[in-house]
Every structure is written in C-alpha cells, then in structure tokens.
Structure 1
C-alpha cells in the first residue's frame, strides 16, 4: 500500500495509521484538531485566573515604595489597571483581525515577518513561559510549606523541599493540561472563584476596619515626596507584575467559542473585575497599616491577616497557595499554544505541532514547557526568574501593539470586528518602551544582558533550520520517536 503524499509503508493497527517517514503521524476516526471548548465564562476565568496570583498579596509595597505617598500609590494601581486594559483591548483588535492561537506569534508573523515572530516564539517558549511557571510554582511551594511548617512548629522549610514541591506542582499542572481542555478550563473556573473569594475576604475585613473609623492612613493622602518620572515608571513596573496575564485569551483564540463576541467581552469583564478587586484590596491593606508599616512588611497579605483575621489568619497563606496554583494552570494552558502554533508554521520542530489523538491537546508543547520550568527551578531563585520574565515580556507587548499601528497604516480597509481608538495602542507602545528601559537604566544587571544574548542565540537555530530549511535525520528520527511515545499526530486541515 502506498500514499501519494508520503513516502514509506503504511501500517494499520487498531484503526491507527503509522507512516514510517519524516511525516509520520497517527490517525484515528474523527477529526484531529483543536476544539472550541472555551466559552465566555471559561475565557473570563482564564484571564482572571492567570492575572490574580501572588502579586496582590506581596507586591503592593513595591508600588507604594516608589510612589512616595498613599494617594499617588492608589492612582498608580488604577493606572496599571487602565494600561493593562488598553493592552488587552489592543490585542482584541489584532486578535480578531488574525484569529489564530499563539498570542503575539501570528500577529508579529503577519505584520513583520518570520524573524520577529520566531524571536518571540523562541523567547516565550524557552524563557518567558517556563520561567513564569517556575516562578509561580516556587511561590506556591514557599507559601504552602511555610504554612505547613508553622503549623507543626518547625520553622522555615528547607530550600530542597521548596524546589521539590515546585517540581511536583509543575508535573501536576502539565498532566491536567495534557489530559483535557475541558478539564483545564473547569479547574481554571473553580480556582478563579476561589481567588475572588480570597480577595473578597480581605476587602470585607477592610470595610469593617473603615466602618470602625480606621481612616487615619487616608488623611492627607498626597502629602510626602512626589515621585519623579523614574520612580513612576518603576512603580508601574511593580504594579503591572500583579496585572500580568491580561493577554492570555489571545493564546487560545482557535479554542474560543464565537471569538469575535467573546474575546472583547471576556477582556472587558475580566479587567474591570480585577482592577476593582485590586483597588479595594489595597484600600483594605491601608485601613489596617500605615505606609511605613506596609513598606516594612515582608508580605502585606500576611501582615493584614495577623491584624484583622485573628484565629483565621491561616486563610492568607491558603489563599495565596490556591491563587498561585490556579495561575500555574492558566500559564501552562496558554504556554503550549505558542510552540504549537510556531511549529505548525514550520518554525519549530514538527512534533510540537502535534495533538494527542484522543485528548486533542497539544501535549508535546505542554510537556516541553513543563520540562524547561523544572530545569529553571533547580538553579535559579525568585529574583533571577522575575528579572528574566519582566524584562522580555514588555518588549513583545510593545511590538504587538506596534503591529496594530502598522496594520492601521498598511491595511486601513481590512475588516476589524473590534476597533479601538488609535491613542490606546500608542499609549501601550510608549509605556512598553519605558518599562523595558527603566529597570536597565535604574539598576543594570547581568540578567538583562543574558536575556538579550539568549534572544539573539535563537538565530543559531533559525538560520539553518528555518531560513535555509536544512533537514536533519536526527531530528526526523527524534520526532518519530516522540510521536509514537506520546501518541500524537499532526492536526487535520479544515475542509
């Protein structure tokens, strides 16, 4: 038996076809492709679940430190919400113009060609997403183990225990995301409701304190040293870490039901909800502690819990652990779609473009993200991972919004299901430039040089394997091995 499109014999066993060559894949009855299983609620949960992590429990002091006073700090938190909303709305326009999964990748590919899109896919797949997952899993392990150790009076958990727990967390979220898209989105919805409930507990505690007349920390809110341009930029840098995740729905557009309607709706609802929760949570914190006390606190949420919740103080570490685990699920869910789409466009090795024949999930791409995250957990610490992640992230956010401006100029008549005022992407581009340059100018470190060198190192693979199209027998055999091992296949094309 032969096939006009493939060389080599075809073997049929248990209704599965195996083509013994470089295009080897498995087939079963039914169409193998990503399914639209993300509805409006799941979309909101994906954004909220990824945005609300540990940041709101630990990072408010970073904003307040650079703000100089309570009033300016609250305005910067509001500004972070507005900027995140502007970015998300800009992504909604280009996402509905180019309704493909992969976040920034298809947008940069369409606007600027294969090199910028490859640099994004390379950097995201091997730095941004794995470091984010590693960072989140380490945070979960720190809080969960600290709560457990305090409960039995054993002090701070050893570093090896934290890292092993983080690795276990990564393995669990990878397993869930490989098992089923529907299972993943259901978990995300559950964890998102839990996160909102956790913040509502803090907010209600703050309201009770305000009702009892504890408003002294809001009096003369704008008194103090006013921040300069550099301090404002750094305050935004800290606040936007807590808002990170506003672009997550663009990574799964091909799995979103009715994307032209649900994408903008989910973005607006999620961003308004998170911004409101963050503002009220900061007000709750300040109802119980002065600005100097807040700045001296190692974890603002824990300090709040000790002062307000009494015997229920355990709610805070539980809330942080719950929140961070949900963010791990969301981060891993979207991460696999980047390398999956890049491989589908011929920029990564073919096995990453394959789906599990029964689960219809991009299992190889998800597993790759998990393996890299585990490798990053072992040698690095929280601060190093944060530097890598934050520096590179806004470089591509700004490039994507610049692509929107490019499309407005080059394709003014192309249909746009969502169209935002032109000043919105301009603001995001300018903010991205400031956020990329501010930390380097303020505190230059080797991590930033490493990030740039790693991005440029992608050319060592792009030139031979993408630009020149060199075929490696070793890569072909490796693809075939993992295809059989993971029981995956190239997706069917649309009719």
Structure 2
C-alpha cells in the first residue's frame, strides 16, 4: 500500500445551517413551554418576569460571544472542558468532567426527557396527572432512541436537528401570532396593569428566577463541544452564534408576552403546562397541538444535547481523563459510539430518582460554576497571551461582565437562602480531586480495564480517533 493510511477522525460534517440548528434547536426545548410559570412564581410579577427573560437572553448572547473567541483560539472539541484544561490545568478540568459526566450532563438529559414524556402522555390523562412510572418509561425510551440515532450517523442526526428546529420555530410563531391576535381583539389586560406590582426583589428569588429562565436558554454553548466537526470554525462559529441566539431571545420574549396576553398571572403560575393551557384557550379543540409541539421541541433539544454531550466524554478520554474506550469512534460510521452509550447509561440512572425542578436548580448551579472558570481562562489568555491568533475577538469587558454574572448566580442563592443541598453539590464537585490523584495522576491499577477495553473495542467495532485540527 502506498502512502500513509488515513487517520481515523471525526469528520467536519457540520455546516452553518447545522451549526445554527445545533444551537437554536437545543436551546428551544421544553423550557419555554414549562419554565414561564416557574420564573413568574419566583419573581412575583409579569413585568419583572419579562425583564428576567430579556436579561437571560442578554447574558447568553454575551457569554456565547466570549465562547466564540475561545472556540477560534482553541480549535478543539470539548467546550468548557478543553478550555479549562488548556488554561487552568488538568485538576480543575477533571473536576469539570467528573461532575459533568456523573451529574450535570445526565441531569440535563433527564430533565429534557422528563419534559418530553410529560407532554407526550398528557393528552392520555386529561383529568389527572399521569403516573410517574409511565412518564419515566417514556422518558427512558426516548433517551435510548436518540442515543441509537446518534451512534448510527452524524448526518442523519444533524438532519433531525434541522427538521425539529424548523418545527419548533413554527410552533413558537403560532403562539406569537395567536397572542398578537388576542391583544388586537382586546384580550385580558390584567397582566399588563401595574405589571411590576408584587415583585420579589430579594437576591434568592432573582437568582432562582434566573436559574429557571436560563434553563430555557441552555444549549447556547453546544457548538463549542463539536468544534472539530464544524466546517470553517473560525467563520461559522461566531456567525452561527449571532444568528441563533438573538433569534431565540426575541422569540422567547414574544412568546411570554403572548402567554400573558391570554392567561392571567395566576393562571400562568398554577398551570402544569402553560403552553397547553394557552392552546386550550386560543385554539379550542385544537389545543392538543401545543402538547405535540412541546413534545417535538423537547425531542429536538434532547437530540442536540446527545450530539454534543457524547463529545465531552470522547475528548476527556482522549486527554486521558476517562477510560480509553470512550476515546474511540466507530470505524465505519465515524461516531463516538462508546461515549454516547456511556452517557446514555448514566442518564438512565439519573432519571430514576430525578424530578424536573431539582434538576433545573442544581444543573444551573453547577454549570455556572464552571462557566465562570472558563471565562476566567479567556481573560487570562487575553492578558497573558495576546500574541495567539484570534480570527474573532471580543472586548475584555465582555468576559468580565459575564464572569460577574456567573459569580452572582453561584453565590447569591447560597448566601441569601443557604440550603444543605448546595453544600452537597459543592462537595460532589471537589470530590473529583479524590478520584483524580490516585487514578489519573498516579495511574493506579493501569491494567485493570485493558481486557474489558479490548473486548468492547472488538464488540463495538471501534478504534482510537485522533484530533481533527
């Protein structure tokens, strides 16, 4: 055979349309159909809730611009993990991957799948809440289905992402237009009379409202997890960010206005599924369409979360922070199937005891802790390594502002209303050091997994994959 054999890598198959779909299609999930009542309940008034939604969008826009610079300076997949590894060192990076793999990512998958399941089974239980066993069985089924799709073909997974992004944008457009029609025809105005009355101005309610709102924006950083599979990342990464996130922010604000134009604040806060309640009032006998739209929206978001989440395990294993089998890709399909299977297994375990509300709060707390460390790394690179090539860059004031917001989101609820659960989460994050020292730094029991790795490599038809730079 002449020449060198072709390296096994994850191919660059994600273009601009796929990139926009990966961001917007993951962001527009179950949150906008479920979180409005949580935001309103936390902050207390319709006007303040709209301000929270706008501030969440602004914060995400600023954060994504900072991540766009990081993604063009460090053109490797892995998102926060790889950025922290390159700027803060392996110990902090392992703390991230340990908490991400064991809790944060599976919690996100579980939360979205539970939302999908709740909306899917709701029409079959019109007069009572659906049994939790049924909800969790449906959630587990969709997790397994999407894991299989992502293991089989990258292009097919991205096609699903594009299709469901278009579907969910159309569904939100229906809500926006319906609300506009109601307003023009003289709908209820209780929500807009003294709209800031009864606002809860404490630090804890504002922090919790931000947590619930930011849940709906989660996925804004998804493209940074798959940089090595993105065509022309120096161009398409910032371009996709500036198309997707402002579009989603505007849609979210208009959808919330539509909810408040049709429903009273009390109806919004007490509704188990605000989009369905809105649909029953505006669409009448076609109200079930909103249940279908919410379920499809969660389905598309879950697909995007799987697509990016498997890459985090894959990159960490490639850097020696996870078992070597997770750094392998299928020799024909070129998908990181072992990492995806592993993520699926952990998500199914987290799903068993999980409930939506606690998943949102603790997911946000942990995520923003590491967002803050990542942004500190960007500030470090700007000050200490200005010579690095930067196809795209932002003023240093942007990462500083987002870092301040991240510190607030991590510390404010804890200081204002201390709860033992926050201590448990913090201890869990730092417990990664206990695992890192013997198993990663000193490589304790290096041959323990060799036979299992060889068996799985043959069984799954996978081989080590190199960086695609």
CA, structure 1 residues 319+493, in 2 after alignment: closer, same or farther (shift >3 Å)?
A: closer
The 5-angstrom pairing of residues 39-188 of structure 1 reads 39-150=15-126, 155-188=128-161
Q: Which residue in the other structure is 1:18 paired with? A: none
Q: TM-score, normalised by structure 1?
A: 0.90
1:347-401 per-position Cα deviation (integer Å, ceiling 9, x unaligned): 1111111000011011111111000011111233223333331221110111111
Q: TM-score, normalised by structure 2?
A: 0.95
Q: Aligned with 2:9: secondary structure? A: coil
Tell whether the 8 Å contact from 1:123 to 1:455 is kept in structure 2 after alignment: yes
Tell whether the 8 Å contact from 2:120 to 2:292 is kept in structure 1 after alignment: yes
Q: Aligned with 1:263: secondary structure? A: helix
1:303 to 277, 293, 299: 277
Tell whether the 8 Å contact from 1:64 to 1:70 is kept in structure 2 after alignment: yes
Tell whether the 8 Å contact from 1:127 to 1:388 is kept in structure 2 after alignment: no
Tell whether the 8 Å contact from 1:384 to 1:447 is kept in structure 2 after alignment: no
Tell whether the 8 Å contact from 2:81 to 2:316 is kept in structure 1 after alignment: yes
2:162 to 178, 183, 189: 189
Aligned-residue offset at 1:226: 6.3
Distance 1:291 1:170 in 2: 34
Residue segments in structure 1 that go unaligned for 5+ positions in a row: 1-14, 16-27
Tell whether the 8 Å contact from 1:83 to 1:428 is kept in structure 2 after alignment: yes
Distance 1:441 1:108 in 2: 26
Q: Which residue in the other structure is 2:410 paired with? A: 436
1:450-482 per-position Cα deviation (integer Å, ceiling 9, x unaligned): 322322232233112221133532211111111
Distance 1:237 1:464 in 2: 35
After TM superposition, the runs of 4+ consecutive aligned structure 1 residues lying more than 4 A away are 223-226, 492-495
CA, structure 1 residues 121+317, in 2 after alignment: closer, same or farther (shift >3 Å)?
A: same
Tell whether the 8 Å contact from 1:43 to 1:256 is kept in structure 2 after alignment: yes
Residue segments in structure 2 that go unaligned for 5+ positions in a row: none
Distance 1:71 1:160 in 2: 38
- Who wins on radius of gyration, i.e. which is larger? 1
Q: Give RMSD over aligned pairs.
A: 2.0
Q: Aligned with 2:135: secondary structure? A: helix
CA, structure 1 residues 201+220, in 2 after alignment: closer, same or farther (shift >3 Å)?
A: same
Establish whether residue 366 from structure 1 lines up as the match of residue 347 from structure 2.
no
Aligned residues: 466
Q: Which residue in the other structure is 2:427 paired with? A: 453
Tell whether the 8 Å contact from 2:313 to 2:339 is kept in structure 1 after alignment: yes
1:159-203 per-position Cα deviation (integer Å, ceiling 9, x unaligned): 222222111111101101101111111100111111111111111
Establish whether residue 198 from structure 1 lines up as the match of residue 171 from structure 2.
yes
| Higher mean C-alpha deviation, range 129-138 or range 29-38 | 29-38
Q: Which residue in the other structure is 2:304 paired with? A: 330
| Higher mean C-alpha deviation, range 437-446 or range 69-78 | 437-446
| Higher mean C-alpha deviation, range 472-481 or range 362-371 | 472-481
2:391 to 417, 438, 442: 417
Aligned-residue offset at 1:76: 1.9
